[in-house]
A and B are shown apart, each in its own frame.
Chain A
Amino acid sequence: MSATTTGSTETGPDRDRVRLHDAVIRFAGDSGDGMQLTGDRFTTESGLAGNDLVTFPDYPAEIRAPAGTVAGVSSFQLHFSDHSIHTAGDAPDMLVAMNPAALMKHMGDLKPGGTLILNSDEFDERSLAKAGAVTDPREDGALVDFTVHEVGLTSLTLRALEEDVASGAITKKDAARCKNMLALGLVSFMFSRPTTGTEAWLREKFAAKPALADANVKALRAGFNYGDTTEAFTFTYEVGRAELPPGRYRTISGNQASAYGLVAAAQRAGLPLFLGSYPITPASDILHELAKLKHFGVTTFQAEDEIAAMGSAIGAAFGGALAVTTSSGPGIALKTEGIGLATMYELPVLVVNVQRGGPSTGLPTKTEQSDLLQALFSRNGEAPIPVVAAKSPGDAFDTMLEAARIALTYRTPVMILTDGYLANSAEPWRIPDVDTLPDLSAAFAFTTAPNGDDGEFLPFRRDPETLARPWGLPGTAGLEHRLGGLEKAPDTGDLSYDGANHHAMTVLRHERIARIGAQLPPLEVDDPSGDADVLVVGWGSTDGPIRAACHTLREDGRKVAHVQLRHLSPIHPDLEGIMRRYGTVILPENNMGQLAMLLRARTLIDIQAYNRVTGAPFLSSELVEVITRMAGAGLDGRGADARRDA
């Protein structure tokens, strides 16, 4: 909370209200404690209060890790502010710990001076032992730097719901499970958030079980009132509205934005959407979301495996649908052969990879950017395909439209990279005007008649500009043709085992992809002073932390430029020239230097890589430190160089 430096304190009749510019709250508890839901609700309330916000849910890979252990801790971090922000925040200002395990796991992250709310009911010897605590952190001095509020969240909840249990309306177990709502009520009070929105939401969620709705609402109000009437909470906080560009906003997660982007792309192309998918963390929510949108003409096919999901998408594309398959790294590995086939067929298929920690099963619930080289190179043979990446949860919407534009215009499979962080994080999203979305129906036209000089159909006679081949659908008389994975002759697509032809076709397949780059709008560089000599290059979800780091450095008078790539294949042709304008080029990635290796190889520019794969996104403070260390005096700008030289 930036109250001490930039906030102000108002003294009210009962207590002081501290006005903050931003705050980071982390809710942590056992997997069964409902922390994701609690965080989601607080996020919605913050969005409605006009804050800018970014969230970071973090949950264990095991659905039912042993209760009370550190392995079973689930958390949800929310950063909300009265100004534009780009990350989920570095260290939390407030930690709500529902049990000792949550405290043990997260107390190291809490800012010195931060506020800690503990569920004191859970701190018995057994729970402490399960959490791996040798001594009680409340008594061993571990919490001395924090403002600690010990609250009996469980016992308060049970007391608030005594009558509901006594009357038999709910069980004692049900009552205890409402403690997350009590915690939410308390935090809502502390941050001056009304509870009415959540009350309405609870009534709707438990419409079929009014007794549970009542209990949750009572617990929520009890928490709010507890804060209001307890002397312990002498300060409450308020975070004002952020100055976002005018428009209508909602919060959206990356997976939700991906699903909506796909629906929008299909509608703007005038095509039915077909999704073939197989459940996998963290991509399954796109399947769930699209399965609910059948009224948009969406067909979802839950295939028997990843390979079948990819195959079904190829079949649907041949039939004239906007075809999609969604997965994560291990699933993409299985789809690889199918992606190669779609490359040879030259059919538009969108392949979405919600990246997670690898290799193999790796870290299913953690984020990573380590599938970049897989996306670019995993097919056998020379099989280039376009690759695009989303920068933020809301940007996944635009990324899907761009991927569909490329796939439809150039008749090629396209890989879309998002990641676990984007997929599950939420941010305020300015709802686009539907009429201003790109018109994708202009990107293609189904072939209706033979295109050959002798009245025959030539399925590989190309558009001279885009090199796209005709898309002739089954059902159209005169266009009967056969597609295969074998090498083909020009125009006819007949099999060809001729070596010179294979070389020419390989060159052509590269050229097809290169042309996409040549037809892109110029690459934008964020260099407000125009005087920077240090360029930070990023791709995908590092956009937020890099932007925040650059912002901090600039506030401090340092000069730094930033370019974030959406197009990774082909790499934007402007990038090399841009990089050459700067003395220092820094590339942070949540992998071991994949894009850095590629750019160094292609440009021979001595790019400095910063790499971390701990399953969490970069912190902006971390990048400030990294950029400062790597750039040194370069952050003084080009003008400084000139001054030094003089």
Chain B
Amino acid sequence: MSATDTTTTPLTRKDFASDREVRWCPGCGDYAILATIQTLLAEVGARPESTVFVSGIGCSSRFPYYMDTFGLHTIHGRAPTIATGLATSRPDLDVWVVTGDGDGLSIGGNHLLHALRRNVNLNILLFNNEIYGLTKGQYSPTSPLGAVHKSTPMGSVDRPLNPVSLALGAEATFVARSIDADRKHLMETLTAAHAHRGTSFVEIYQNCVVFNDDAFIQVTGRDTKQHNQIRLTQGEPIVFGPDGEHAVVADADGSMSVVPTAEAGDRIVVHDATREDPTTAFALSRLAPTPDRPTPFGVFRDVDAPVYDDLVRDQVARATAAKDADLRALLDAGNVWDVA
């Protein structure tokens, strides 16, 4: 964008697209996510100069190159750390982290955990394709048990992580799940994530056409999706299926399960993402440890909580207001003596 633009000019999706040729594989789910975000930023009135995309390493992490905003393509797994330093020192910026299942949950798992529990003002998008794509096809921390890939010819024996469960375990203040194939749902979910102050975490199921095609076929397939997509709507009873014939109910032991709506009675869970306690959201996330059965989509948790970088800046502001930044007084303090 040119320097003559002013902050009042309405922008379009194109204003957020860089002139760089997009080089994901043909048919990659990343294209849909990129287009959705470019559209979203234009629609919410974001400014390219105030928007920063920070990524790690992996296919998803090429994302910043395709945005005509500020961007940092960093090192493997470390995007949340760099984004935390930036967001903490610059309250005026809209900082996004783009990561993947390998980048965010394996090599960068520790940083993701701490960004989530601190509640730094970041939008974290985790593109989950259950595979390492850039390194050409090794199993990832979200690959299901038994997954046969290049480094697991006899099947993976690694127990997979559920990213939403992980984020809720860290008490992230905004946790959601969406999917590349559903632009409308993705747009709604990302818009809500962007509106949240604090860390918003969105897991996006993203199909890798080359190394792990159809990993999410149970929740995307024409025949299966209506029975396997549980759409979460704030304040509504959680029912799904072509005719709402399945219902999510709360069990006596604190877990949840799916039963025929007809048999559910008054046990149907009414979705409330604003509950302070993440326990029910966590139970919801455990309905489908992996997306090979009825799997919830939408916002699991959306609560207001103090934001890390606000608190840090507030301490600095209070200290600055209370005491002068007098370097001379700082140095010339304690037990001093004069030599003539």
Binding site for B on A (CB under 8 A): 44, 47-48, 50, 197, 241, 244-251, 260, 263-264, 267, 272, 274, 276, 293-299, 301, 303-305, 307-321, 323, 337-338, 340-341, 345, 431-432, 434, 449-450, 455, 474-486, 494-495
- Chain B residues positioned under 8 Å from A317 (CB to CB): 85
With A337-B75, A477-B1, A480-B70 known as contacts, the answer to whether A47 contacts B335 (CB < 8 A) is yes
How many angstroms between the C-alpha atoms of A401 and B297 in the bound complex? 53
Asked if A434 contacts B339 (CB within 8 A), the reply is no
Q: Is the CB of A450 within 8 A of B110?
A: no
B52 proximal to A (CB < 8 A): yes
A485 to B61, CA, bound (A): 12
Cα distance, A480 to B68, chains bound together (Å): 6
A314 to chain B: closest residue by CB: B82
- CB < 8 Å neighbour of B332 from A248, A298, A337: A248
Asked whether, in the complex, the Cβ of A319 is within 8 Å of the Cβ of B1, the reply is: no
A317 to B82, CA, bound (A): 10
* Residues in chain A near residue B323, CB distance under 8 A: 295
Residue B86 at the chain A interface, CB threshold 8 Å? yes
The A contact surface, by secondary structure, is mixed
B319→A294 contact, CB < 8 A: yes
Instruction: Report the minimal beta-carbon distance from B302 to chain A, rounded to whole angstroms.
Output: 25
Q: Closest Cβ of chain B: how far from A479's Cβ, in Å?
A: 7
Interface residue from B48, B68, B73, B92 paired with A485 (Cβ < 8 Å)? B73
Interface pair A295/B85, CB less than 8 Å apart = no
Query: Which of A298, A474, A478 lies in contact with B52, CB distance below 8 A?
Result: A474
| Contact between A251 and B49, CB atoms less than 8 A apart | no
Q: A312-B81, A338-B75, A482-B72 known; A434 and B331 CB under 8 Å?
A: yes
Q: Is the CB of B83 within 8 A of A299?
A: no
Whose C-beta in chain B lies nearest to the C-beta of A43? Answer: B335
A449–B339 touching, CB < 8 Å: no
Give chain B interface residues in 1-40, CB to chain A under 8 Å: 1-3, 5, 7, 18, 20
A382 → chain B closest CB, angstroms = 17
The reply to whether the CB of B194 lies closer than 8 angstroms to some CB of chain A is: no
In the complex, chain A residues whose CB is within 8 Å of the CB of B113: 304
A312 in contact with B322 given A474-B50, A485-B73 (CB within 8 Å)? no
User: Are A480 and B69 in contact, with the CB atoms below 8 A?
Assistant: yes
Find out whether the CB atom of B110 lies under 8 angstroms from the CB atom of A304: yes
**Binary A-proximity of B130-163 (CB < 8 A = 1, otherwise 0):** 0000000000000000000000000000000000
| Interchain CB contact under 8 A, B332 and A431 | yes
Chain B residues with Cβ below 8 Å from A432 are: 331
16 more A-B residue pairs beyond the given contacts A338-B78, A478-B49, with a C-beta to C-beta distance below 8 A: A245-B339, A264-B327, A267-B325, A274-B88, A299-B88, A301-B312, A304-B111, A308-B81, A308-B110, A319-B89, A320-B90, A474-B70, A475-B92, A475-B93, A480-B1, A495-B65
In the complex, whether B233 has a CB less than 8 A from a CB of chain A is: no
A624-B204 Cα distance, complex, nearest whole Å: 69
Q: List 10 A-B contacts (CB under 8 A).
A: A250-B334, A251-B334, A264-B327, A296-B330, A301-B84, A314-B82, A315-B85, A345-B72, A474-B90, A482-B73
Most A Cβ at <10 Å: residue of B52, B75, B323, B336: B75
**Partner of B82 from A247, A312, A494 at Cβ < 8 Å:** A312
Q: Which single residue of chain B is at the shortest CB-CB distance from A250?
A: B336
- Please give, as numbers and ranges, the residues of chain A lying within 8 Å of B88 by CB-CB distance: 274, 299, 301, 312, 315-316
* Contact A263–B327 (Cβ < 8 Å): yes
Q: Are A274 and B85 in contact (CB under 8 A)?
A: yes
Nearest Cβ distance between residue B13 and chain A, in whole angstroms? Answer: 15
CA distance A267 to B331 in the complex (A): 13
Bound together, the chains give a CA A264 to CA B327 distance in angstroms of: 7
A304 pairs with B114, CB closer than 8 A: yes
- CB-CB under 8 A for A50 and B337, given A308-B81, A341-B74: yes
Confirm or deny: B47 has a beta carbon within 8 angstroms of a beta carbon on chain A. yes
> A44, A295, A315: which contacts B320 (Cβ < 8 A)?
A295
Closest 9 CB pairs of A and B: A311-B81, A315-B85, A478-B3, A312-B85, A484-B73, A294-B319, A315-B86, A482-B71, A295-B323
Given A47-B337, A482-B70: A477 in contact with B3 (beta carbons within 8 A): yes
1/0 contact string of B296-318 vs chain A (CB within 8 Å): 00000000000000001101100
Q: Given A341-B74, A431-B332, do A301 and B85 touch, yes or no (CB 8 Å)?
A: yes
Q: Are B85 and A251 in contact (CB under 8 A)?
A: no
Distance of A323 Cα from B336 Cα, bound (Å): 31
- B48 CB contact (under 8 Å) in A311, A340, A480: A480
Give the docked Cα–Cα distance between A479 and B325 (Å).
32
Selected from A295, A311, A482, A483, the residue in CB contact (under 8 A) with B325 is A295
Contact B49 A434 (CB under 8 A): no
Residue contact A308 to B111, C-beta cutoff 8 Å: yes
Q: Roughly how many angstroms separate A267 CA and B87 CA in the complex, as a whole number?
A: 22
- How far, in angstroms, from A605 to B316 measured CA to CA in the complex? 52
Which residues does chain B contribute within 8 Å of A449, judged by CB atoms? 3
CB of B262 within 8 Å of the partner chain: no
Contact with A along B109-122 (1 / 0, CB 8 A): 01101100000000
| A-chain residues with CB within 8 Å of residue B81 when the two chains form the complex | 276, 303, 307-312, 315
Measured in the bound complex, the distance between the Cα atoms of B315 and A319 in whole Å is 19
| B294 interfacial contact with A, CB 8 Å | no
Interface centre among B69, B70, B88, B93 (most CB of A within 10 A): B70
**Contact call A249/B339, Cβ cutoff below 8 A:** yes
Instruction: Identify which of A197, A263, A296, A311 contacts B85 (C-beta below 8 A).
Output: A311
**Is B253's CB within 8 Å of the partner chain A?**
no
CB distance from A49 to the nearest CB of B (A): 8
A245 to B339, CA, bound (A): 7
Q: Report B170 CB to chain A, min CB distance, Å.
A: 12
A431 and B50 contact, Cβ closer than 8 Å, known pairs A276-B85, A308-B114, A475-B90: no
B85 pairs with A477, CB closer than 8 A: no
**B-side contacts of A241, CB under 8 Å:** 339
Contacts of B340 in A (CB 8 A): 246
Chain A: minimal CB distance from B328 (Å):
5
Q: In the complex, A520→B5 CA distance in Å? A: 43
Q: How far is the CA of A432 from the CA of B332 in the complex (A)?
A: 9
A50-B339 contact in complex given A264-B327, A301-B84, A311-B81, C-beta closer than 8 Å: yes
Q: Which residues of A contact B338 (CB under 8 A)?
A: 247-249
Q: In the bound complex, what is the Cα–Cα distance between A313 and B78 (angstroms)?
A: 12
- Which residue from chain A places its CB closest to the CB of B329 in the assembled complex? A434
- Contact (Cβ within 8 A) A481 B324: no
Check A246 against B328 for contact (C-beta < 8 Å): no
Distance in angstroms between the alpha carbons of A301 and B334 in the assembled complex: 27
- Residues in A with CB closer than 8 Å to B337 are 47-48, 50, 248-250
Contact among A47, A313, A316, A450 for B3, CB-based, below 8 A: A450
Distance A190 CA – B137 CA, assembled complex (angstroms): 76
Instruction: Name the residue of chain B whose CB is nearest to the CB of A308.
Output: B81
Q: Which residues of A contact B86 (CB under 8 A)?
A: 315-316, 318-319, 474
CB <8 Å contact, A299 and B339: no
A319, A320, A486 pick with most chain B CB within 10 angstroms: A319
Given the complex of chains A and B, what is the CA–CA distance between A69 and B324 in angstroms?
48
Assuming A249-B338, A295-B323, is B84 touching A483 (CB within 8 A)? no
B104 within 8 A of A: no
Query: Which residue of chain B is the closest to A397 with respect to CB atoms?
Result: B331
Chain A residues near B67: list those with CB within 8 A.
Answer: 482
Chain A residues lying within 8 Å of B328, measured Cβ to Cβ, are 434
- In the complex where A247-B338, A248-B336, A248-B337 touch, is A481 in contact with B82 (Cβ < 8 A)? no
B83 to chain A, nearest CB (A): 6
Residues of chain B within 8 A of A477, CB atoms compared: 1, 3, 5, 7, 47-49
Do residues A341 and B75 form an inter-chain contact, with CB atoms below 8 A?
A: yes
B291 CB–A CB distance under 8 Å = no
A50, A244, A475: the one contacting B50 at CB < 8 Å is: A475
Partner among B83, B92, B313, B331 whose Cβ is within 8 Å of the Cβ of A315:
B83
B252 located at the interface, meaning its Cβ lies under 8 Å from any Cβ of chain A in the complex:
no
Question: Could you tell me the distance between the alpha carbons of A263 and B331 in the complex, rounded to whole angstroms?
Answer: 10
Q: B64 interface residue, CB < 8 Å from A? A: yes
Which of B50, B85, B111 contacts A323 (CB under 8 A)? B85
Partner of A197, one of B20, B315, B320, B335: B335
